[in-house]
Chain A
Amino acid sequence: MLKKTATIINKLGLHARPSAQLVTTAGKFKSEVFFTKEGLRVNGKSIMGVMMLAAEQGAELIVEVDGPDEQEAMEAILKVIEGGFGEID
């Protein structure tokens, strides 16, 4: 099981499009993915869960990945978050 912390850097936060992007990325892997923000832990493959995090710019997310392809999954997820979801700010 891998566990890392990532910060939401894009100005608009985890709104609909980035949430969709995050869930789509997590969904590509066999591993289980969880995000935790301020004690709220949600399934990373569920868009409703990710949206419930209401993560604004600057929010810290704990990313947990567990499964056969956890290494690749963690890398892909961090890349999406740290890349600001491709939003130019």
Chain B
Amino acid sequence: MSDKRKVIHGVPISSGIVLGTAHVVMPGDFRIVDSPVPATRVNREIAALEDAVEKTIAELSEMRKVAVRKIGGPVAKIFDAQLLIAGDYEFLQKVKNEIRSRKRTAASVYNKLVRNATNPLKNSPDHYLRQMAIDIEAVASRVLSHLIGNSVSKDTHLAPNTIVVGRAFTPNDVMAYRELKAVGFIVSRGGADSHMALIARSLMVPVIQTEQCCKIIPNGSRLIADGTTGDIIINPTPEEWSEYQRRRKRLGPTMIARIRRLPKIPPVTRDGKEMGIGANLSLPGPADDILAERQIPVGLYRTEFLYMAGNKFPDEETQYRTYLRIAEKFAPAPVVLRTFDLGYDKLGNGADWLHEDNPALGWRGIRAMLDMSQVFKTQVRAMLRASVQKNIKIMLPMITDLWEVERAKKYIAQVKLKLRRDGIPYDPGIQVGIMIEVPAAAMTADTLAKKVDFISIGTNDLTQYTMAADRTNNRVNNLYSPFHPAVLHLVALTVEACKKNNIPVSICGELAGDVLAIPLFIGMGVDLLSMSPSRIVDACRMINKVDSTLVRHLVTSVVSSGSLQAAINRLKDYKAAFEQRK
């Protein structure tokens, strides 16, 4: 029974493929006995509590230090509140008083009072209040583990290739498990915008979220987890195991290290044409150094991490320092900083103040930023101040209509004027571009291209808006395919408009790194493909194989193919013919 094969489709939270053994943990699942203690032992219980709290504070301070060193300031703030919780004098007094009056063990009293505090928060409809309960529980499980010694943080050794499965993990847990060489995580709670997701992505550890994972996945079972697609295979067949092993080798963090060994960047096609290649980044992390060393431009630097680290928009100085550090690291390679693209898929998981009946079509990206013009201007000002290296470009997400571009550019001009008046230097030639993700924008790209310095096509959203299908919805995601000729038609239309207006055009969705799509983009005349760092090596190899003079007809053939199946067949035929040729 326990070795039965089973496939689960979860939500991808942090990408990468891992193969290993499930280690199911139940945080907070302690065997706490509410037994009375003799009066003579009361003082010993209190001393044990003080000792456990002291150890917890020391651990948290250490975690905080590691977080600052490995990830940087904003994320480390998560630990500040936890440190206050651990050392809460008033609360500990209450625990001690109750140990004395009720003569119970420190663990049982502490546990009971923590539950009293977290229960109302857990039932709150508010995402941020529920997050507080998780913070409190994270601290409590540490204190309790010191008191009774069986818990998460007591795992001092993990078997090689352990995939940790649990209800919810805190950023501390993720870091602690990483130190023990855990390779991935499967969680039942915590969305793509949770603190742990942020940290996992920056540490390049795959994470998948799926309901009831602790019940479905047997402890010790063999697992394949694909953090890029969200697929989990329990007790896979030997064929699946070797297939995923092969895929993991192609996509793992080692792949990023292999960028160092790429012979030539930017890569050239068979016929000697240079193809621009860039990286999509979401958070400063270990990949940056390798990319900067090879002078790989950043085609898309998402800035949402700055918001998510503290659930608020950081001030100008904080943003300025972050952008400047990034710019200096990559200079002279260009870095495209995208203004905050906050909306349903970043904050939607429970952020009730954003509640909308149809959030994908709601207040997000540039729409929100133009309404919160002060936030937008603060961000632009910080980006402009950091542009003195002359390698920063500004990109506006989710543009739908011309007036949004005009309004945003007006704001940017106002910020520039203010900077000049204040005598603060910035790059006067800084380029401002837009993302094309909405079909309306793609179809009017010719008008938009006249107003901007560059265009980048975000194929993920363009696909969901063109196909009217959500990638994360299992019932309809068979329709979500960027290879549908309708999507490719819009891409081709946009590229054409950019060529006509003489501005550079890039692709920055998942599709940019898809080896099946790369010949198509070369055929269209795309200038730069920006992708997640793990795909760069394969993409460069593919580019090396393509002859740019031979792929133009492929574009017409695929765009006019009429259906998804026909488009895919034509691309596969091309790839087969091409593999035969070499």
Contact = CB atoms under 8 A, between A and B. Distances in A.
A42 to B, nearest CB: 8
A15 B90 contact: no
A15 B131 contact: yes
Contact of A52 (B77, B117, B135, B312): B117
A43 B132 CA distance: 18
Contacts of B359: none
Contact of B129 (A43, A46, A49, A56): A56
Given A12-B312, A15-B129, A49 B81 contact: no
A56 B84 contact: no
B273 to A, nearest CB: 47
A24 interface: yes
Nearest to B351: A12
Nearest to B87: A47
Nearest to A85: B312
Contact of A51 (B126, B136, B313, B374): B136
A19 interface: yes
Contact of A47 (B77, B81, B116, B312): B81
Contact of B311 (A15, A46, A47, A57): A15
Interface residues of A, number: 24
Interface string B339-359: 000000000000001000000
Given A16-B135, A19-B81, A46 B91 contact: yes
A54 interface: yes
A48 interface: yes
A13 B374 contact: no
B551 interface: no
Of the candidates B126, B129, B353, B372, the one having the most CB atoms from chain A within 10 angstroms of its own CB is B129
Nearest to B128: A15
Nearest to A88: B313
B81 A56 contact: no
Contact of B353 (A11, A48, A49, A88): A11
B81 A20 contact: yes
Interface string B111-125: 000001100110010
A48 B136 contact: yes
Interface in B84-137: 84-85, 88-91, 116-117, 120-121, 124, 126, 128-129, 131-132, 135-136
A45 B89 contact: yes
Interface in A48-81: 48-49, 51-52, 54, 56-57
Given A45-B89, A48-B91, A88 B312 contact: yes
A51 B129 CA distance: 8
Contacts of A49: 88, 90-91
A29 B488 CA distance: 64
B310 interface: yes
Contact of A88 (B81, B85, B120, B375): B375
A17 interface: yes
A18 to B, nearest CB: 9
A78 to B, nearest CB: 20
Interface residues of B, number: 30
A9 interface: no
Contacts of A87: 312-313
Contacts of A12: 128, 311-312, 353
B80 interface: yes
Interface in A1-59: 11-13, 15-17, 19-20, 23-24, 43, 45-49, 51-52, 54, 56-57
B143 to A, nearest CB: 12
Nearest to B114: A48
Nearest to A23: B84
A5 B131 CA distance: 26
B84 A47 contact: yes
Given A16-B132, A17-B311, A51 B117 contact: yes
A28 to B, nearest CB: 14
A19 B128 CA distance: 12
Of the candidates A13, A16, A43, A52, the one having the most CB atoms from chain B within 10 angstroms of its own CB is A16
A16 to B, nearest CB: 4
A13 B84 contact: no
Contacts of A46: 88-91
5 contacts: A13-B128, A16-B81, A47-B88, A47-B91, A88-B372
Interface of B: 77, 80-81, 84-85, 88-91, 116-117, 120-121, 124, 126, 128-129, 131-132, 135-136, 310-313, 353, 372, 374-375, 378
Given A16-B131, A47-B81, 11 more contacts: A12-B311, A13-B128, A15-B131, A20-B84, A46-B91, A48-B91, A52-B116, A54-B129, A56-B129, A86-B312, A88-B372
Complex A-B, nearest 4 residue pairs according to Cβ-Cβ distance, in ascending order: A46-B90, A15-B128, A16-B81, A48-B91
